[in-house]
Chain A
Amino acid sequence: MANSFDVIILGGGPAGYVGAIRSAQLGMSTALIEKEKLGGVCVNIGCIPTKALLHSAYIASLLREAKEFGVEAGAVKTDYGVAMQRSRKVSDQNSKGVEFLMKKNKVTVVKGAGVLQSGRKVKVGNDVYEAKKAVLIATGSRVKGLPQIGLEINKTTVISSDEALFLDKAPASMAIIGAGAVGMEFANIFHAFGTKVTLIEALPRILPLEDAEASDTLAKSYKKRGIEVIAGAKVKKGTAAKDKVTLEVEASGATQKIEVATVLMAAGRAVNTENIGLAECGVQVTDRGFIKIDQNLQTTAPGYYAIGDVAGPPMLAHKGMREGVTVAELVAGKKPHPIKYDNVPSVTYCHPEVASIGLTEDQCKERKLDYVAGRFPFSANGRARGTGETEGFVKILRDKKYGEIVGAHIVGGHASEIIHELAVARENEYTVEEVELAIHAHPTMSEAVAQAALDSLGRVVDM
């Protein structure tokens, strides 16, 4: 039967396409259904284009400081439109790359919106596809607005990252609501392109999920370069006019009016669970709207699995990718390595970068863990001094008795790359001693990791 496959995957984002490749590698006939471009939010309107834009922003800020390094660049002019076009090319290249991977692995790609049906079937238009082994739901998530306070996304003055990524020029002023990873990154990007940015966070500190020291370092860094940061703030009302938005913001007991050209909503995401036939197949959702899954990622309907953002937090591409691999292996009858959800690195690619894994220091205190914090600032690191990236630190939280690395937090240039040493260490249950014993090349930013490990043992060398 032409429309029969072992595995059918609904959604071609990171969870879906990686799951498709692994299924095909394991010899299962696989179909991937995607209504838009392959690669999903990540490749097209998320991870990838924002990294391209952040690099443009980085170059702009480098050039502004170039004189100090003996390089005259003259007056730096920026053009968001050009940066945006470049980011689109990068996204398209990546999306084509996914298409190529589907061909290479002989995954059948079906273009269209799929709707689940009972009996492990998915309907796309008038065609029905049947899965012999499993249906993987990987429909992902989208940005959400705050219509209840007048901030419905109108795509002109009140926008989401979806629109921000396609602007021809940077607005004169922008309020960003939500200082999680998305809000932090866009604040960084638009500020570098000349926008007057106000960053508003409801919780008491920006990057609320990160360690408090990381939040503090970033708040100082942003304020120093002229980004206004208002944390612990409540946006009481938003009024969108044709070319401006007025916000009423209450913070520290006072209400202020902020008038900006554009508001960027970065306050969380909603999962795509509507109109895909979940209820009809018996797939239940949790109180928070995620698809309910068991420890094998199977939904309440046998044969239907959920992976990626729809399957629950953390809503991160790399978590979804791993779930895709794991489900494919489970369906193929293998016994995959269990996913350690407490060992998923979290990265914000603003400058300086913020990367973390495991518990924050506050969480250690809440859990009454007997821990020791080891710290090392990049201001004491030779490589960082050389490149002028002395902002930030490495902090390692170790269990006092056994030296287990219970958490690690890095703020600094290339933190997103440095964190993986600690991810590998934690995955393999290396203690701070094993991390420190591995010889680190000199001079590197990564030396700060070894020094923080040493500091947690009370014998830091370079400070």
Chain B
Amino acid sequence: MATNVYMEALSPTMEEGRVVKWLKRDGDPVKTGETLAEVETDKAVMDLVARADGVLRQVAAAEGQTVAVGSVVAVIAAPGEAITAAAASAPKPAPAPPSGSAERGAVPSAAVPADATRVKASPLARRIAKEAGVDLKLVAGTGPGGRVTKRDLEARAVAAQPAPQREVPLPAPRSPLVTRGGEPYQDVPLTQIRKTIAKRLATSLGPIPHFFLTTEMDMERASEARDALNKQLGDQGGKVSFNDIIIKATAHALTKHPACNAWFQEDHIRYWHEVHIGMAVAVEDGLITPVIRNAERKPLADIGREAKELAEKARSRRLQPSEYTGSTFSVSNLGMFDIDQFTAVINPPEAGIIAVGSIVQKPVVVDGQLTPRRRMRITMSCDHRVIDGATGAAFLKTLKQMLENPLAMLL
């Protein structure tokens, strides 16, 4: 019996996937669990694995092709098995409206979801789920034949809050994908990640009442501390960066200002007791925010190692959903791009983000003497529904004290 290979929902929000590369070819023997193809989701490149043993046949999605979740992309059959029409014809690309069709006036939609992912849900449940961003596939339906009803969604809303997804804006290098010769513009189709960024960020600066606080701080002692630490680490590898120190100080400052370590949840504010720092990472054609969990409790060296690993994973698009969801506060650093100061867009439902500029030597008056000092600017974006001006300022003051005198973190 042939088994269909479906485009699976590899992330909680994935609606379609692009086949990056087939690792198995038509006719290759495959075993359950083996990776068949690499698929670009809205977040990352993930593995599509075999769900049966057999021979890969009838590969229906070409490399580079984008298909809807639930579409059949290939078939796994027994060697020599004649594939029935039913299994093979299951993938239905957008059907052309047949003449004499009983439906008119509709725009042909994307591929019809195959039965493997067809969700039984009432129209009302669909509307509520859409509004709440709930994936109906993850909801157990109690209606006739497992149909998801309003009651099921209400029960779920009481039971759990869905994990949010997040990105933080960062300018990202982009390569033109489609160029039209001689025209004064070029149209670049949105990639999966760019679509998600657009969708997510449109829910930030628009609806969230942002305000911004900027402070400049002296980074001399932080620089000295960093040099000393790296000297001590020596050949052990894993050097500490300014970004690591900033993440550590931010996490530490948040423990002293829990009012800034919060999620706005429409009818309530969730104040987190743990600090999970989202770290904006520029990737090719976008950005993603891997999370350093419990940064308040981790030694600097661990933060440094983890940050490096996560950034590498992000750049190679290998982050798992669990590695980029659930942050409570974010840090965006454009210092390496020689940006003195900028404002970052809040990553909802978080209530704050800091934008870190570059460290530059400036003439500063210290004890009545004009001296060159290394200085850095941080701008904090606050969601005014959660954080008031004075609250944000108090947090920034603590952060500044910690960065100007890293020993303060020991207090």
* B122–A403 CB distance below 8 A: no
Instruction: Report Cα–Cα, A53/B399, bound state, in Å.
Output: 85
* A429–B144 CB distance below 8 A: no
* B131–A434 CB distance below 8 A: no
Partner of A430, one of B122, B128, B131: B122
Against A, the Cβ 8 Å flags (1 = close, 0 = not) of B128-163 are: 100100000000000010000110000000000000
Nearest chain B residue, comparing its CB with the CB of A434: B123
Against A, the Cβ 8 Å flags (1 = close, 0 = not) of B20-56 are: 0000000000000000000000000000000000000
A401 within 8 A of B: yes
User: What residues of chain A lie closer than 8 Å to B149, measured between beta carbons?
Assistant: 429
B221 within 8 A of A: no
User: What residues of chain B lie closer than 8 Å to A391, measured between beta carbons?
Assistant: none
User: What residues of chain A lie closer than 8 Å to B123, measured between beta carbons?
Assistant: 428-431, 433-434
User: What residues of chain B lie closer than 8 Å to A434, measured between beta carbons?
Assistant: 123
Given contacts A337-B144, A404-B150, contact A429 B125 (CB under 8 A): yes
Against A, the Cβ 8 Å flags (1 = close, 0 = not) of B104-131 are: 0000000000000000001111011001
Against A, the Cβ 8 Å flags (1 = close, 0 = not) of B277-294 are: 000000000000000000
User: What residues of chain A lie closer than 8 Å to B127, measured between beta carbons?
Assistant: 402-403, 431
* A431–B124 CB distance below 8 A: yes
* B122–A429 CB distance below 8 A: yes
Nearest chain B residue, comparing its CB with the CB of A338: B142
Instruction: Report Cα–Cα, A433/B126, bound state, in Å.
Output: 13
A401-416: which residues lie under 8 A (CB-CB) from chain B?
401-404
* B144–A402 CB distance below 8 A: no
A203-220: which residues lie under 8 A (CB-CB) from chain B?
none
Central interface residue in B127, B128, B144, by most chain A CB within 10 Å: B127
User: What residues of chain A lie closer than 8 Å to B125, measured between beta carbons?
Assistant: 429
The smallest beta-carbon distance between B401 and chain A, in angstroms, is: 46
* B124–A401 CB distance below 8 A: no
Instruction: Report Cα–Cα, A341/B267, bound state, in Å.
Output: 30
* A401–B131 CB distance below 8 A: yes
* A428–B122 CB distance below 8 A: yes
* B131–A429 CB distance below 8 A: no
User: What residues of chain A lie closer than 8 Å to B128, measured between beta carbons?
Assistant: 402
Instruction: Report Cα–Cα, A433/B150, bound state, in Å.
Output: 16
User: What residues of chain A lie closer than 8 Å to B150, measured between beta carbons?
Assistant: 404, 429
Instruction: Report Cα–Cα, A401/B266, bound state, in Å.
Output: 15
User: What residues of chain B lie closer than 8 Å to A401, measured between beta carbons?
Assistant: 131
**Residues of B in contact with A, size category:** 10 to 19
The smallest beta-carbon distance between A6 and chain B, in angstroms, is: 26
The smallest beta-carbon distance between B235 and chain A, in angstroms, is: 62
Instruction: Report Cα–Cα, A458/B79, bound state, in Å.
Output: 61
The smallest beta-carbon distance between A140 and chain B, in angstroms, is: 30
Given contacts A401-B131, A404-B150, contact A430 B144 (CB under 8 A): no
Instruction: Report Cα–Cα, A430/B131, bound state, in Å.
Output: 16
Instruction: Report Cα–Cα, A428/B122, bound state, in Å.
Output: 6
Instruction: Report Cα–Cα, A428/B124, bound state, in Å.
Output: 9
Against B, the Cβ 8 Å flags (1 = close, 0 = not) of A392-404 are: 0000000001111
Instruction: Report Cα–Cα, A75/B123, bound state, in Å.
Output: 55
A398-453: which residues lie under 8 A (CB-CB) from chain B?
401-404, 428-431, 433-434
User: What residues of chain B lie closer than 8 Å to A431, measured between beta carbons?
Assistant: 123-124, 127
The smallest beta-carbon distance between A149 and chain B, in angstroms, is: 45
Instruction: Report Cα–Cα, A429/B144, bound state, in Å.
Output: 12
The smallest beta-carbon distance between A367 and chain B, in angstroms, is: 15
* A404–B124 CB distance below 8 A: yes
* A402–B122 CB distance below 8 A: no
The smallest beta-carbon distance between B119 and chain A, in angstroms, is: 14
The smallest beta-carbon distance between B156 and chain A, in angstroms, is: 15
Instruction: Report Cα–Cα, A401/B127, bound state, in Å.
Output: 9
User: What residues of chain B lie closer than 8 Å to A428, measured between beta carbons?
Assistant: 122-123
User: What residues of chain A lie closer than 8 Å to B144, measured between beta carbons?
Assistant: 337
Instruction: Report Cα–Cα, A154/B269, bound state, in Å.
Output: 67
Instruction: Report Cα–Cα, A404/B144, bound state, in Å.
Output: 19
The smallest beta-carbon distance between A155 and chain B, in angstroms, is: 48
Central interface residue in A402, A429, A431, A433, by most chain B CB within 10 Å: A429
Instruction: Report Cα–Cα, A402/B125, bound state, in Å.
Output: 9
The smallest beta-carbon distance between A428 and chain B, in angstroms, is: 6
Nearest chain B residue, comparing its CB with the CB of A428: B122
Nearest chain B residue, comparing its CB with the CB of A426: B124
Nearest chain A residue, comparing its CB with the CB of B122: A429
Nearest chain A residue, comparing its CB with the CB of B149: A429
User: What residues of chain B lie closer than 8 Å to A403, measured between beta carbons?
Assistant: 124, 127
Nearest chain A residue, comparing its CB with the CB of B148: A429
Against B, the Cβ 8 Å flags (1 = close, 0 = not) of A172-193 are: 0000000000000000000000
A242-298: which residues lie under 8 A (CB-CB) from chain B?
none
Instruction: Report Cα–Cα, A431/B122, bound state, in Å.
Output: 9
B59-111: which residues lie under 8 A (CB-CB) from chain A?
none
Instruction: Report Cα–Cα, A434/B144, bound state, in Å.
Output: 19
Instruction: Report Cα–Cα, A328/B10, bound state, in Å.
Output: 44
Instruction: Report Cα–Cα, A337/B144, bound state, in Å.
Output: 7
Instruction: Report Cα–Cα, A428/B148, bound state, in Å.
Output: 10
The smallest beta-carbon distance between A217 and chain B, in angstroms, is: 29
Give A contacts to B, CB under 8 Å: 337, 401-404, 428-431, 433-434
Closest 7 pairs between A and B when the two form their complex, measured CB to CB: A429-B122, A429-B124, A402-B127, A404-B124, A434-B123, A430-B123, A431-B123
A-B contact pairs, 26 of them (CB 8 A): A337-B144, A401-B131, A402-B124, A402-B127, A402-B128, A402-B131, A403-B124, A403-B127, A404-B124, A404-B150, A428-B122, A428-B123, A429-B122, A429-B123, A429-B124, A429-B125, A429-B149, A429-B150, A430-B122, A430-B123, A430-B124, A431-B123, A431-B124, A431-B127, A433-B123, A434-B123
- A sample of 14 more A-B contacts (CB under 8 A), given A403-B124, A403-B127, A429-B123, is A401-B131, A402-B124, A402-B128, A402-B131, A404-B124, A404-B150, A428-B123, A429-B122, A429-B124, A429-B150, A430-B124, A431-B123, A431-B124, A434-B123
